[in-house]
Amino acid sequence: MRTLIEHLEFAFLVDAGDTVVRDASILIENDRIVDIGPAAEVAARHRDDRFDRVMDGRMLGICPGFVDSHVHLSETLSRAVFPDNLNTRAWVFHWAKPFYAHITEEDEYWGALLGITEMLRNGTTCFIDMGSQYDPGITVRAMEKTGIRGVTGRHAADNPPPELPRGWTQEMARHHFFPSAEAALAELEACVRKYDGALDGRVRCWVNIEGKEPCTLELHVGAQKLAERLGVGTTYHLATSIEEAKVCEDKHGCWPITRIDRAGGIGANLVIAHGAAVSDEEVKLLASRGAKVAFCPCSSFKLGKGATAIGKYPEMVAAGVTVGLGTDGVSAAGNMNLMRQMLIVAGMFKDARMKPDVFTARQALRAATIEGAKAAMWDHEIGSLEIGKKADFILFDLDHIEWTPFHDPLQALVFSASTASISQTWVDGKTLYSEGKVHGVDEPALRRKARELAAAAVERAGLHDENVETTTTLYDNGN
């Protein structure tokens, strides 16, 4: 199948030079980009070629598909349930864990399908999911139905608290907390061997763990080493807040990233989720090790993680650390919209530091595309529009109030446009979202099912009760 989209108003290549082509054409053959550039040059190179389809790109703009570097698909049914007066640790231990304790495999599937549908509507073509509470195959089934690309895994931990807090269940503790790091790693390896490379390569399965206090040092280090041996990545939460950093310092005499590095667990195949509490020395450490960071601006805003106060994300980028953008779960961020994350990250550090040249629109777009692809260890195939790469991209409708008028398409994309002007989302050379619909998904039925399941899960978890704790001392003492 050969498709030519000609005379696009602009094309963001997001290549090494951040090239923006005006009056551009792109030629797609099956799942790959075989040519892209100025329309006249592409036409000259293919003057005698035949095409299965020719699309008029006038009043359309093209951008690489967004890559969500950190998301919790198993959390999607918890949208707008948790309050906004929680710090990260109370949010996790007294709200998220009870929710996880009371969702079923059916809940997970419909939540994953709902989240992926939202992603495709919002231009996200690839994601790094923290993983299923049960089995990665649940997410894979949702991916199969929609055609999206992504990384998933099996959520794992091995250090439960001595007494289970309110809302936690013994059943959840059994399937969430493994009896040892060795047992957890054995299960994670089995998941990688079963699911990595599924759906013609659109699925990648990693050695994912929860991270932080619910995981031993042995599991943190073991996950990175196992992933290295299997040739895949690993991702987990670390240095997510100043509270976590202080607890770690009190127990171990250093901040979280330093602790893991001293044990040999920071490597180039690791994506650290959040990374809010990072010292200047740890920025250098991350750069030297090649580790990546998934920054979730909306989550930081809602939970008060401190990105604007202590966050070193501009310093990370300047040091050469790969920083991708993530949405986190919808209960933490409220949405799976990377365009919203781009807008926030392109403004938050300018304002906090009163320096308008910090973390620019160009860097925000890179964080949402090619840097996310690097985090996913997939940048040789996705993240930019270049010959030989996968045809994963977004088409914007420029005959839209948000784009009227515009001079610089980059400024319009980051500061003016929203997902309302996304016309089409393509993955692997296929149109997955167009004409206001995600193909293959009965969206009205999906929304009805999600509302029904979510309401039941919230009630089972007791999260409708006004007495759910909003502070915590869990894991403050002990290992």
For residue 477, what pLDDT is reported? 62
Give residue for tokens 């050379």: 429
Average pLDDT rounded to a whole number, residues 43-64: 96
Average pLDDT rounded to a whole number, residues 227-236: 98
CA dist., res. 476 & res. 309, Å (int)? 23
Strands (E), 57-178: 60-64, 66-71, 124-129, 149-152
Residue 465 vs residue 64, higher pLDDT: 64
Flag whether pLDDT at 138 surpasses 60.
yes
Contacts of 335 (CB under 8 A, 6+ apart): 118, 298, 327
Flag whether pLDDT at 338 surpasses 80.
yes
Q: How many CB atoms lie within 10 A of CB 162?
A: 7
All CATH 2.30.40.10 domain ranges in the chain, comma separated: 2-64+384-438
Q: What are the backbone dihedrals phi and psi of residue 476, each rounded to the nearest 5 degrees, phi first?
A: -65, -30
> 3-class DSSP state for residue 270?
strand
All CATH 3.20.20.140 domain ranges in the chain, comma separated: 66-375
Average pLDDT rounded to a whole number, residues 206-234: 97
For residue 124, what pLDDT is reported? 98
For residue 152, what pLDDT is reported? 98
Share of the chain above pLDDT 90, in %: 87
Query: Fold for domain 2-64+384-438?
Result: Urease, subunit C; domain 1 (2.30.40)
Contacts of 264 (CB under 8 A, 6+ apart): 221, 225
How much is the pTM? 0.96
For residue 134, what pLDDT is reported? 94
CA 320 from centroid of its chain's CA atoms: 20
Q: Read off the pLDDT of residues 75-109 as tens digits, 9 standing for 90 and up.
A: 999 999 988 988 888 888 888 889 988 999 999 99
CA dist., res. 45 & res. 37, Å (int)? 11
Q: What are the backbone dihedrals phi and psi of residue 192, each rounded to the nearest 5 degrees, phi first?
A: -60, -45
Average pLDDT rounded to a whole number, residues 42-67: 97
Give me the long-range contacts of 350-355 (CB less than 8 A, separation at least 24).
351/308, 352/308, 352/309, 353/314
Q: Read off the pLDDT of residues 315-335 as tens digits, 9 standing for 90 and up.
A: 999 999 999 999 999 989 899
Q: Read off the pLDDT of residues 350-389 as tens digits, 9 standing for 90 and up.
A: 999 999 999 999 999 999 999 999 999 999 999 999 999 9
Q: What's the DSSP call for residue 334?
A: S
pLDDT band at 479 (very low <50, low <70, confident <90, very high): low
Query: Fold for domain 66-375?
Result: TIM Barrel (3.20.20)
Q: Read off the pLDDT of residues 387-430 as tens digits, 9 standing for 90 and up.
A: 999 999 999 999 999 999 999 999 999 999 999 999 999 999 99
Q: What are the backbone dihedrals phi and psi of residue 280, each rounded to the nearest 5 degrees, phi first?
A: -60, -40
Please, what is the average pLDDT of the chain?
95
Dmax of the chain from CA atoms? Answer: 73
Closest CA to 428 of 458, 389, 470: 389
Q: Read off the pLDDT of residues 278-315 as tens digits, 9 standing for 90 and up.
A: 999 999 999 999 999 999 999 999 999 999 999 999 99
pLDDT band at 478 (very low <50, low <70, confident <90, very high): low
CA distances to 15, 279, 297, 349 from 345, rounded to whole Å, are 20, 20, 6, 7
Flag whether pLDDT at 140 surpasses 70.
yes
CA dist., res. 287 & res. 69, Å (int)? 18
Q: Read off the pLDDT of residues 442-467 as tens digits, 9 standing for 90 and up.
A: 999 999 999 999 999 999 988 877 67
CA dist., res. 349 & res. 333, Å (int)? 18
